[in-house]
Amino acid sequence: MTRTSLAVTLLLTIAITAGLTALASLGGGFASSAGRSAGDDLTVPILIHLATALAAALLGPFILLRRKGDGRHKALGRTWAGLMLVTAGTSIFIRSPGAGIAGTGFSFIHLFTVWTLAALPVAVWGARSGNIRLHRGGMIGLYVGLLVAGGFTLIPGRLLGGLVFGW
């Protein structure tokens, strides 16, 4: 990766994250004002996490469905990987002290953090080493994991479920 492409990827990731975070903050959160009481729990790590996860979820299909191997695929893929790293990184700061698994504050959904931080470098290495099957499988698995983890956040009793559906 050249310094220029790394800089462009970094700037795109920062711009997408900042833009979606600002829109979410200015628009009353990620849902209607009816669910805003739960919005009091929207900390900076949660806002960044939601912004990057949403951006990665929206960008994923474009990368997976378009032509592979060209410069645009690589740039979009690097941006997506950056978004996923920020999403996984911020999830470490989203916990409920005293609750969760053995009182650690971490829930089972945090297993997706471990999965992402382990699988993403392997999938990138697959592309760089020419093992496209490993790359494709890893990236599809990460995208499915993103969607599954996102789905779990919408269940009753979870912060995002309360914001979106009011439960």
Domain ranges of the chain: 3-165
Write the burial class of residue 13 (CB in 10 Å: 0-12 exposed, 13-18 middle, 19+ buried): buried
Query: What confidence category does residue 67 fall into, taking pLDDT thresholds of 50, 70 and 90?
Result: very high
Please give the residue that has the higher pLDDT: either 107 or 133.
133
Give the three-state DSSP class for 18: helix
**Least confident window among 70-74, 94-98, 132-136:** 94-98
pTM of model > 0.95: no
